[in-house]
Amino acid sequence: MLDLIVFIVTMSITPGPNTIASLANASRKGIRKGIFLNLGMFVGILLLSSLSYMLSFIIFRVLPQIEPAMQLLGALYMLYLAIMLLAKNNISLAKDTGGFKTGVVMQLANMKVMLLCLSAISSFIIPTSKSWLEGYILSLLIPIICFLTGLLWALCGQILSNAYKQHTRLFNIVFASSLIILAIKCTLRAFA
């Protein structure tokens, strides 16, 4: 479970469409008015993670032999993200953000969130869950943690943004290292 939480936090706190939109929105509208975008993102991620969990659960039950392959794909995705983090040197602010509806719709096109859901579910949740309900409850950690990291970016916006800008390389090395460790663990689990 710790690996799952580390993965979700690492993925959701690194700059991406949600964190940058949350930061920009709170900077422009303030936290009270800007929270609606974050709530919309939460609902969008909740929909994606629920759908991802249900589809993954069905696929894993019908074709149980696919589980190691999915874990390896999840590990490869984590390695890809680690490489991208190490290659990334900047952060850019979104220019236009909206409210609740924008937050929900934004998630339907957010590849980072889609892949986060699929990777977390296939690499960490389904292989360790003892029942459908336990797995689904664990999958709820995805939207909850994403919501909390989005709020962190909104609340600490400028400070967090400035710290990240000043120490991008260091932050990215730490995040990439955690992704590499998790990818190794997923690979070992796939061959166990």
The whole-number pLDDT of residue 64 equals 81
Query: Per-residue pLDDT for 182 more than 70?
Result: yes
Q: Which helix (H) or strand (E) holds 19?
A: helix 17-29
The whole-number pLDDT of residue 45 equals 96
Average confidence (pLDDT) over 37-47 = 95
Express as a percent the part of the chain with pLDDT over 90: 29
> What is the band of 31 on the pLDDT scale with cuts at 50, 70, 90?
confident
Express as a percent the part of the chain with pLDDT over 70: 92
> What is the band of 141 on the pLDDT scale with cuts at 50, 70, 90?
very high
Residue 31, classed as helix, strand or coil, is helix
Give the residue with greater pLDDT, 65 vs 54.
54
Average confidence (pLDDT) over 11-21 = 81
Tell me the per-residue pLDDT of 78-102, one tens digit each, with 9 for 90 and over: 788 778 778 865 555 445 557 899 8
Tell me the per-residue pLDDT of 143-163, one tens digit each, with 9 for 90 and over: 999 999 999 988 876 676 677
Tokens for 6, please give them. Answer: 């580390």
Structure pTM? Answer: 0.76
Query: Per-residue pLDDT for 121 more than 80?
Result: yes
Task: In whole angstroms, give the CA distance from residue 68 to residue 78.
Answer: 15
Average confidence (pLDDT) over 36-56 = 94
Comparing CA positions, the residue from 175, 121, 177, 159 lying closest to residue 11 is 175
The whole-number pLDDT of residue 103 equals 87
Task: In whole angstroms, give the CA distance from residue 59 to residue 150.
Answer: 31
Cβ within 8 Å of residue 141, ≥6 positions away: 4, 5, 8
